Structure 1
């Protein structure tokens, strides 16, 4: 937080009093509030425990430390060995003129379930707070600490941390001016996958009323795959794949071991898809925390009372290719091999060839990959939720920009600075293709307003998905448009194709 922020206000939490800092515009930010105890020592690889209390006023003017990881992100803190108090929340609030309670938006960051933090500059909640919602963001365990399988101990500890943060919101947010009965949980990428999981988890019932999920990744680990992944990481770390062996390895040692394993995941034919998408950690499906895939969960009606807003970008995978996050596929034979690894029928590959007849193989591969891993899964999540009786809305981000070095596509993550109103944040220029112009700022205002309206009363401003019709709001410049997925040639290719994306 920069020096333009001045003295702020005091708030009392169940653990003790805290003080934040107020911006010249009247938004108070209270950062780095512990919502659970440090998940190390006796608490390592276990469910989150209550945070210790304090008596004196706690100065909360800086973000808390990030969870163990090797990533170094623009404008964000990095993890240092010894950083332990990583389970913290941040609050941005501008009180209503009439003093009434504010709708609450809880943000869950992404990062392949392996890296990231709530301190990333494009996640600053100031603009949303000025628009009328109270914003909360949280850090949670990522990588092996949060999602690695440890025999005899709970899987999906990162999800359990997020649930604990939501319980903190329920118990404390009224003291900040928020309405604990009007909470929206939101996330992007792995954060959106987390949102989908939270909707499917029994222990989160009643903790939120609405959900926003941008670019939901349709990938999970079976218990068997999680066990196999742990075995490889333990061997790389030089310890036994047991609770005792894994506890003997420091967090940094497991981070380094997982990074090395990620570079060689394609060697194992059991997890052939990881040759193309080398992500080590995913939520583990099966067991007490997450019994089933969130895409099938709506059929049970478990989250029917939660309103859902889904968005994905039109060309997700171009970003992952740009940053070197996925393997290149440049020949027809390689493309067929990729489809086989993903268990896709040949007609899908042929369909993309017909839709993109002049495109190189790499472009068709990126289009197919992005739709398989994000676009189709996100769209089906909204449709399944609506089909089970829930209220769901669908949108797509299609904004493009021509630059001297080429076209900036509507790729993964580009939509987030627009929705947060943070087009000038560190790192945003890379995502959106340079400095924003007035059309970009107008689009940002529209997207931010849709989030605020949805969090406030459950309506982002366009028709919901029904059992028969899938209307889609397409975010674009100079203006948005409505589309009907019944007329979509891309969606038609995927009809009847199972999305069995669990890694076995």
Structure 2
């Protein structure tokens, strides 16, 4: 007999009946369900508004349109002017059973707060649903529509969209067999940064009980910096940097203007770090939607009731260099300029030189950049959360693949196809360095199981971080192992180097011990920190 065909299946939501498809092995996929009204016209630049309901069953067998952006990602839909119903969720769930309501994993895609969507092939929730969770993913406003500062309108609209999607989960997920009282927010890169923000946002309080954050970026803007970036984007679009002026520009015009501003950052940045990594959209520390940097907020104990699982890769920035997203640094003077841009102490740069004595400048630059933006910030999130009374777990992705002329590094995003169980997805071969082998598939099963177990009961399977020590699960092939960060040479370099968010913390919460208070690593610089032109030439 041939393989059984997909069959239609229906679920009743508060907005109306939705029709998805169930695979032969019993996993239903219901795609493109509106959770909020189209954020254009009268709703543009505003907090998300309720979606209108429908009377007849709604076809939900294809993903909804993506938010305005210029990116074209492998296997993913692209944004086209006129696409407006961009605030949708997708649900994957296995066939009903008598086991009771299932834990829910709510996925937030990454993309530098500028691009990406829930329709990326490596985010397919089938394997996770098969393992016992209800998977929900969402599209949200990115780029200027979601994170641009608009006078008279709320900041962080993309985060508010995510809150609205979580409210949809609370109100509707029981119809899919999910437990609205057992929701885990998960994300990678900008999605992980979003998850950290949601942990400390009053609007999201009570909507989830756990968070999984892979490669959390230390990336936030103050209102002044966000306003300065808006001024440049408005000028590039030929409109005034006011609410009415920005409303007069089409989404397409603002996407193009933002791309132009980002492209000019190497020689004319708003903040010093943008000369090296030209990201122009980040969550805004506005004191309202986002009261403060999540690192400082978690250290205060504000979210101690939320369990936290953190992961980062060992060599994050090699991926960003590979895809041409960051400036290349190949000389010692350029490395010194970079260190100044990030306010890094000289002893830290010298320490990396000692740990990597035979490495070219480029490799040391990428190592420092990856640890500064992702590795150290992610690790400290887990540590501060644990010290404040929360339950936190830390892991690192260290899987490598040797090949002629080098090898595939454990770089940014490589861990995600493993955790989703999507090693054969379109584009995954680039992330993991070719077709997966048996060891890769075994690693994927272990990582996926850790996610499912954490979502179910808050324990991924290794010791938690404590106030006295940081035990790390290291994902690798052929075997994983536990590591003690107290013996880590890289982590030792960062002791005594506070991140900006830590400067206001009590001494017992600040990083230490170290040789006194070093300059703070900052990515939330004021406009006066613009990098001098002489420091931007390659």
Q: Using structure 1 for the length normalisation, give the TM-score.
A: 0.98
Residue 96 (structure 1) shift:
4.8
C-alpha distance in 2 between matches for 1:23 and 1:171 = 25
The worse-fitting range, judged by mean Cα deviation, of 494-503 and 417-426 is 494-503
CA distance in 2, matches of 1:71, 1:5: 34
Q: In the alignment, which residue of structure 2 is the partner of 1:108?
A: 108
1:480 match: 480
**Partners of 1:219 and 1:503 within 8 A in 2:** no
Q: Which residue of 1 aligns with 2:35?
A: 35
Q: What is the CA-CA distance between 1:8 and the residue it aligns to?
A: 2.7
- With 268-277 and 41-50 compared, the bigger mean Cα shift is at 268-277
Deviations, residues 164-183 of structure 1 (Å, cap 9, x unaligned): 00000000000000000000
2:525 is matched with: 503
Deviation per residue, 1:147-203 (Å, 9 max, x gap)? 000001000000000000000000000000000000000000000000000001011
What is the SS of the residue equivalent to 1:9?
A: strand
Alignment partner, residue 514 of structure 2: none
User: CA separation in 2, counterparts of 1:146 and 1:5?
Assistant: 39
Q: Is the contact between residue 220 and residue 503 of structure 1 (CA under 8 Å) also seen in structure 2?
A: no
Q: In structure 2, what is the equivalent of residue 163 of structure 1? A: 163
Q: Report if aligned partners of 1:103, 1:133 keep a CA contact under 8 Å in 2.
A: yes
Aligned to 2:504: none
Secondary structure of 2:266's match? helix
**How many angstroms apart in 1 are the aligned matches of 2:5 and 2:43?**
36
Aligned twin of 2:493: 493
What is the rounded CA distance, in whole Å, between the counterparts of 2:200 and 2:337 in structure 1?
33
Kindly indicate whether the alpha-carbon contact (under 8 Å) linking 1:266 and 1:273 is maintained by their aligned counterparts in 2. Answer: no
Asked if 1 retains the 8 angstrom alpha-carbon contact of 2:401 and 2:409, the reply is: yes
| Residue correspondence of structure 1 range 388-427 to structure 2 within 5 A | 388-427=388-427
Checking the alignment, whether the CA contact within 8 Å between 1:330 and 1:362 is kept in structure 2 is yes
Q: Secondary structure at the match of 2:372?
A: helix
Q: Does 1:453 align with 2:442?
A: no
Please say if 1:184 is aligned against 2:206.
no
**Residues in 2 aligned to 1:354 and 1:5: alpha-carbon distance in whole angstroms:** 60
Matches within 5 A, 1:43-442: 43-268=43-268, 270-442=270-442
Query: What TM-score do the two structures reach when normalised by structure 2?
Result: 0.92
The alpha-carbon distance between structure 1 residues 119 and 270, as it changes in their structure 2 partners (threshold 3 A), is: closer
- What does the per-residue CA deviation read over 1:220-276, in whole Å, with 9 as the maximum and x for residues that have no partner? 111000000000000000000000000000000000000010011133465111000
**What CA RMSD, in Å, does the superposition of the two structures yield over aligned residues?**
1.1
For 1:118 and 1:159, how far apart are their aligned partners in 2?
15
Q: In 2 relative to 1, CA 4–372 (structure 1 residues): closer, same or farther, beyond 3 Å?
A: farther
Equivalent residues of 1:96, 1:132 under 8 A apart: no
CA deviations over 1:421-479 (Å, ceiling 9, x no partner): 00000000000000000000000000000000000000000000001110000000000
Residues of 1 paired with 2:102 and 2:328: CA distance?
Answer: 47
* SS of residue matched to 1:254: helix
Conserved? CA contact 1:96–1:102, under 8 Å: no
Question: Which stretch has the larger CA shift, 7-16 or 56-65?
Answer: 7-16
How far apart, in 2, do the equivalents of 1:367 and 1:299 lie?
Answer: 26
In 2: Cα distance, 1:74 partner to 1:82 partner: 22
Question: Kindly tell me: are residues 470 and 5 of structure 1, through their superposed partners in 2, closer, same or farther at Cα, counting changes over 3 Å?
Answer: farther
Deviations 1:77-129 (A, max 9, x none): 00000000000000000135315100000000000000000000000000000
Q: 1:212 offset after TM fit, Å?
A: 0.1
Contact 1:5 1:21 in 2 (8 A): no
Cα distance change of structure 1 residues 270 and 87 upon mapping to structure 2, 3 Å threshold: closer
> How far 1:402 moved relative to its partner?
1.1
The range that moved more, 266-275 or 366-375, is 266-275
Determine the C-alpha separation between the residues in 1 that align with 2:376 and 2:276.
18
